[in-house]
């Protein structure tokens, strides 16, 4: 299994961002082909301050796929492209670092 992780830093207006992210972005993510499951968590506490420099983590989104091939297919899908366009529209691309990780256990 492989997961795609999006780590968001705190936006200037968290309530406005949440409304757009949960209201328009996540419904698009749910339509991604090959998506096995997903979860979004709001960061409550940072135990090692400064690890991310000046940035304060805000959200962690994890999207799980069966394997790398499924992830590659998802990344090329119109649904993923629509979600990416939406993220840009709501200002999320300025807040996020994204990466993939193979689930080891």
CA–CA separation, 20 and 90 (whole Å) = 6
The pTM for the full model equals: 0.91
Q: Running along the chain, 105 residues long, what does each successive block of 10 average in pLDDT?
A: 96 96 96 97 91 88 98 97 96 93 95
Q: Which tokens belong to 87?
A: 């993220």
CA–CA separation, 55 and 18 (whole Å) = 18
Find the angle CA(39)-CA(14)-CA(51) to the nearest 5 degrees.
Answer: 70
Per-residue pLDDT of 44-54, as tens digits, reads: 999 888 888 88
């Amino acid at each position: 299994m492989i997961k795609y992780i999006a780590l968001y830093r705190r936006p200037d207006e968290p309530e406005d961002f949440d409304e757009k992210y949960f209201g328009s972005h996540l419904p698009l993510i749910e339509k991604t082909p090959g998506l096995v499951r997903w979860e979004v968590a709001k960061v409550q506490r940072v135990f090692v301050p400064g690890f991310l420099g000046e940035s304060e983590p805000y959200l962690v989104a994890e999207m799980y796929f069966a394997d790398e091939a499924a992830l590659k297919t998802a990344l090329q899908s119109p649904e993923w492209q629509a979600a990416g366009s939406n993220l840009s529209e709501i200002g999320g691309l300025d807040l996020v670092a994204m990466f993939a990780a193979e689930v080891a256990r």
